[in-house]
Amino acid sequence: MPWFVIYTKSNTEKRVADDLRKRNITVYCPLIREKRKWSDRVKIVENPLFRSYCFVHVSDNERNQVFGVAGVVGYLHWLKKPAIVRDEEIEIIKKLLNDVDHAAIQLQQYSVSDKVRINSGVFMEQEGHVVAHQGKKLVLRLESLGVSISVDTGRTLVDKVGKALLE
C-alpha cells in the first residue's frame, strides 16, 4: 500500500490525524517541537512539520474513506494523479524527527523577490534576489556582480534573508 498526501483545512492537521486513527486508517502527521513564548511563560508546543498536510497509508479502493473526516479537503495531486510518497521517504522523515534537534529543522520555501544569501560554493557570502524558481533550482540576480546564476538548493546552502522591495 502506498502513502498518499491529504490536504487539510488550516490548523486541523492534528485533529484530522486523530479522527483518521479512530477510523482505523493509518496516518502520519509529522510534528515538530517548537518553543513558544508568551508574556508570562515559555512553552514547548508540537506543530505540524508540513502545514495543511498529512500522510495516509491506504489502498486505492480505500482512498475515499478519508473524506468522512471533518477537515479533509482532498488529495494532493502530481501529474493529474494522487501524489504518492514512498515508504523510504516516510522513514527518513521519522528518523530526522527522532535524531535531529527540532530547533535546527527549517523548511524553506522561496518565492520571486525573496532576498537570499549563498552560504557555500564559489559564490559564498553573495546576496541576491530570486528571479525564478522551479523545484530545487533558483535563479538568482546578484546585483554586486551584475549577473544572474542558477543555484541548486540541494547542493548549495542558501538562506532567506528577507523580501526584496518590489521595483
Question: Do 34 and 9 belong together in one domain?
Answer: yes
Predicted local confidence at residue 100, as pLDDT: 66
Q: Which of 24, 6, 4, 1 is nearest to 70 (CA)?
A: 6
Residues 56, 80: Cα–Cα separation, whole Å: 18
Provide the domain limits for residue 152.
114-161
Overall pTM > 0.75: no
Number of domains in the chain: 2
Question: Do 47 and 67 belong together in one domain?
Answer: yes
Cβ proximity of 54 and 17 under 8 Å: yes
Question: Do 85 and 120 belong together in one domain?
Answer: no
Question: Do 91 and 30 belong together in one domain?
Answer: yes
Residues 36, 16: Cα–Cα separation, whole Å: 23
Question: Do 95 and 131 belong together in one domain?
Answer: no
Contacts for 115 with CB less than 8 Å, ≥ 6 apart: 127, 128, 129, 130, 160, 161, 162, 163, 164
Question: Do 130 and 98 belong together in one domain?
Answer: no
Residue at 167 is within a domain: no
Question: Do 16 and 64 belong together in one domain?
Answer: yes
Q: What is the CATH number of the domain that holds 125?
A: 2.30.30
Predicted local confidence at residue 67, as pLDDT: 93
Q: What is the CATH number of the domain that holds 54?
A: 3.30.70.940
Question: Do 118 and 146 belong together in one domain?
Answer: yes
Which of 104, 133, 149 represents a domain boundary (last residue)? 104
Residue at 166 is within a domain: no
Cβ proximity of 142 and 149 under 8 Å: yes
Predicted local confidence at residue 105, as pLDDT: 57
Cβ proximity of 116 and 110 under 8 Å: yes
- With a cut of 70, list the residues of the chain below it in pLDDT: 100-108, 154-155, 163-167
Question: Do 130 and 154 belong together in one domain?
Answer: yes
Question: Do 127 and 87 belong together in one domain?
Answer: no
